[in-house]
A = this chain, B = another copy of it.
Amino acid sequence: MSDEDQNKVIDGRAVAKKVEAEVKAGVEELKSEKGITPGLATILVGDDPASKMYVRLKHKACDRVGIYAEDHPLPESTTQEELLDLIKTLNAREDIHGILLQLPLPGQLNEQEAMNAIDPAKDADGFHPFNMGQLLIGIEELVPCTPKGVIRALEEYNIDIQGKHAVIVGHSNVVGKPMAAMLVNRNATVSVCHVFTEDTSKFTKEADILVVATGVKHLIKEDMVKEGAVIFDVGISEENGKVYGDVDFENVIKKAALVTPVPGGVGPMTISILMQHVLMAAQKTA
């Protein structure tokens, strides 16, 4: 990669570090001034290796910023009632300010019911319908972490949002839909594309800000992006032990103004926002 292109890489790890430093300072202040240590409880059902890794990464981040973290590993055979009982217990605990239910859950469990059972005030992931609804109407408190990380990166890199054409590829509940809501809240003109879109490239070519979250390896090629676009690659897929983003990074970067790499882009930012949420939730109880 040329030096010039190197300067176009959005450094997700650096953004995350900055967020974590802020969280760490906030945690210390809350401890010293109110005697409150923010606490996160994670719930991991079953033995999925990827889920285990994600939970481990989140616990490590808690350690870095001074958040108390405990894991509740449940067996693959857990019943809905057992899961709901645990959530109820965690909802009631004063030392736990954030609850994170690692998804996906085994097939016998009702994900939506479980997520709805989490106290919205402790909903570290921001997936509870109450928090999603607040987001839709412009009240952003606990909101999905990945799109919020994207917003933070836009701010860090001084990218204007208002009046810009933001195009989102992918309409998941976790990324695409909340991302669209956040960008609309900031007065971007927002287009949402997905697998049913007739000609996605027609939209991506017009995007000032492009967020791609499909899980399709290198879906976005150089000829599909606008000169000077700011691009966030949220997708991740694995092939022969190597991870790929949704963006053909090596080529797209020649045309883009800024683009996130995979890995080292959106992933670290997401976890740092999760830390921020646990602190926010704890501050609200002070």
Considering the chains assembled together, what is the distance between the CA atoms of A188 and B197 in angstroms? 7
Asked whether A79 is an interface residue with its Cβ less than 8 Å from the other chain, the reply is no
Give the complex CA separation of A162 and B171 in angstroms.
13
Which residue in B134, B163, B194 is a CB contact (below 8 Å) of A129?
B134
Cβ contact within 8 Å between A162 and B130: no
Check if A51 is an interface residue, CB within 8 A of chain B: no
Interface size class of A (residues with CB under 8 A): 35 or more
| A173: contacting residue among B138, B196, B203, CB under 8 A | B138
Residue of B nearest to A129 (CB): B133
Q: Which of A22-30, A178-186, A217-225 contacts B (4 or more CB under 8 A)?
A: A178-186
Contact B192 A196 (CB under 8 A): no
Q: Which of A66-84 contact B (CB under 8 A)?
A: none
Q: Check: A255 CB closer than 8 A to any chain B CB.
A: no
Contact of A184 among B132, B137, B171 (CB under 8 A): B171
Interface of A is mostly: mixed
A33 within 8 A of B: no
A283 within 8 Å of B by Cβ?
Answer: no
A173 vs B137: C-alpha distance when bound (angstroms): 5
B191:A196 contact, CB within 8 angstroms: no
A171 to chain B: which residues have CB within 8 Å?
Answer: 184, 187
- Whether the Cβ atoms of A190 and B191 lie closer than 8 Å is yes
Residue A3 lies at the interface, judged by CB distance under 8 Å to chain B: no
Interface residues of A, Cβ cutoff 8 Å to B: 112, 127-139, 162-163, 165, 171, 173, 177-178, 180-181, 184, 187-194, 196-198, 203
14 example contacts (A-B, Cβ-Cβ < 8 A) are as follows A112-B139, A129-B129, A129-B134, A132-B133, A133-B135, A133-B136, A136-B177, A136-B181, A138-B173, A177-B181, A180-B180, A184-B192, A189-B203, A191-B192
Q: A132-B132, A189-B194 are in contact. List 15 more A-B contacts (CB 8 A).
A: A127-B137, A129-B129, A129-B136, A130-B130, A132-B137, A135-B136, A165-B198, A171-B184, A177-B184, A180-B180, A184-B192, A187-B196, A189-B192, A189-B198, A189-B203
